[in-house]
Chain A
Amino acid sequence: MSMFNMTLIIDASYFLAAVLFIYGLKRMGSPMTARGGIVWAGAGMMLATVVTFLFPGMSNYLLMIIAIGLGGIIAWVSGKKVAMTDMPQMIALYNGMGGGAAAAIAAVELYSGKDHGLTFGILAVLGGFIGAVSFSGSLVAFAKLQGFKNTTLRFRGQQIVNLIILLSTLIMAVIVITQPDIGNTISIFFILALILGITMTVPIGGADMPVVISLYNAFTGLAVAFEGFVQQNPAMIIAGTVVGAAGSLLTQLMAKAMNRSLANVLFSGFGETTSEEGTEVSGSMKPIDATDVGVMMAFANKVLIVPGYGMAVAQAQHKVWELTQLLIDRDVDVKFAIHPVAGRMPGHMNVLLAEAGVPYDIIYDENEINSEFESADVALIIGANDVVNPVARTDPSSPIYGMPILNADYAKNVIVIKRGQGAGFSGIENALFFLDQTRMLYGDGQEMASELIQAVKSL
């Protein structure tokens, strides 16, 4: 086959891959077609990868196959094994790998000493910079969520130190672009960028990590697009840019749902502030037992279930779904009310419920369901806390003031399944627990759900 035909096949395949990526991502936007979406995108990836072996002027095929095999197998096994609750950190890990790959492309291009011209030189360096930050930053995010490194390191003047590292990296970047022949500048540049990714991420608290992971996802996309320009590869340019834009928007949506600005997430701490809560909450928490709750729910017209990450930690979602089915059989209208930040990242709770078999058409977003709490006989809160705290609406001195919440306090009866009496993740006292219509069902989420099942069954 002539070289020209080969190039044509490669170009056509990359074009097709880009079409499949966009089509696949589009289909992933609706729960009905989402599964097909990833399969189409996967076909595009397979095509692009296979065709790249035909690229003219290449060698090192054995190394290439070994690297693909190693990386592929490790990722395949870990991806198949990971529990749904650990999904956020796995996304961070795979995303970091992508950023690292983009940085590696930049490094090979720069070390080769090829003259890229000013524009492509800048793009190569910029892509390498963003990719390296995404790589080390994502690994820190992974380690934090996985629990390898729980402590959040903070010291005074940290922002200034980060700024100095950032500026030094940028200065090295300029030198790499303008004076490519000077000694070890390329290595120093990459090392600085990697350090910056670490020092940027270390001070960010666990609660904010999803926003950061999403941001790094957008970073990697952008880095891939820039390296795509350098390598003149349209599939990389388009896929990278689409992800860069989509990821930026997703990051904003997440930050908004958490009532945080992106600058706030990156440059200040929430998660671990020992917050002095605003107004003291008065009243007492009134306990109830499972039998009474069972009766209450079985004879209700409408029950809204508000699950939080605590439910997933207690592995109670299967029992909760069993309970839901019993209630539906008794003609109770049961719906799940999901706060955007329930779980560890937006949409995570939906994944956890889907795993338990809960169909997505009885799961509702905060803005779809909030008007229905007033007509609900029972709001069952299981493992959720801050997202149903009415002080977010009423108390301007509270750190969560202004955060969109689920209006569980409007329901006629509120049942809270909770392990003990302590305050929530953020350390803020929950006014909902002290309301007149609220009863506390103390115990482990899974055990309590089982007791509720027994209570409803015995009626």
Chain B
Amino acid sequence: MDQIIQIDGFIALYIFMLAGFVGHEIIGKVPAILHTPLMSGSNFIHGIVLVGAMVALGRAVTPLEQTIGFIGVFLGAGNAVGGYVVTERMLEMFKRSKDKKS
């Protein structure tokens, strides 16, 4: 596909660098109690690979490409959906003690 902007060279490096710092900053201050859900949450976010796999399958021509593309979409969907479900289940349970008993 003809892109409006080509992401390569230094533009690619800049994006890579900035996104890297964002990831580092976001996790840096998180309390240990959330490490498991957070790992699960970041696991969900790289489920965006589904989108790439869809494009790969969409452009696949030969049976070999189609087969691999199909497997890719299947795995990507598993990553995205599974990651979401388990993260949501874990985070849903975190509650404060609402009514302080005295």
Docked complex: B61-102 residues within 8 A CB-CB of A: 61-62, 64-66, 68-98, 101
B76 touches A71 (CB 8 A): yes
Q: Is A166 an interface residue (CB 8 A)?
A: no
A29 touches B79 (CB 8 A): no
Docked complex: A1-41 residues within 8 A CB-CB of B: 7-8, 11, 14, 17, 21-22, 24-26, 28-32, 34-35, 37-39, 41
**Which of A99-107, A379-387, A429-437 faces chain B?**
A99-107
Interface centre among A14, A61, A224, A363 (most CB of B within 10 A): A224
Contacts of B28 in A (CB 8 A): 249
A220: nearest residue on chain B (CB-CB)?
Answer: B46
Q: Which of B15, B19, B45, B59 contacts A58 (CB 8 A)?
A: B59
Interface centre among A24, A31, A345 (most CB of B within 10 A): A31
A102 to B71, CA, bound (A): 11
Q: Which of B20, B59, B97 contacts A362 (CB 8 A)?
A: B97
What is the predominant secondary structure among interface residues of chain B facing chain A? helix
Expressed in whole angstroms, the minimum distance between the Cβ of A25 and any Cβ of chain B is 5
**Which of A147-155, A348-356, A440-448 faces chain B?**
A348-356
Contacts of A32 in B (CB 8 A): 96
Q: A102-B49, A362-B97 are in contact. Are A108 and B68 (CB under 8 A)?
A: yes
Binding site for A on B (CB under 8 A): 1, 3-4, 6-9, 12, 15-16, 19-24, 26-62, 64-66, 68-98, 101
Binding site for B on A (CB under 8 A): 7-8, 11, 14, 17, 21-22, 24-26, 28-32, 34-35, 37-39, 41-42, 45, 48-49, 52-53, 55-61, 63-64, 66-72, 74-76, 78-80, 82, 84, 87-88, 90-91, 93-95, 97-98, 100-105, 107-109, 111-112, 119-120, 135, 213-214, 217, 220-221, 223-225, 227-229, 231-247, 249-250, 253-254, 257, 325, 328-329, 338, 340, 343, 345-348, 350-351, 354-355, 357, 359-363, 365-366
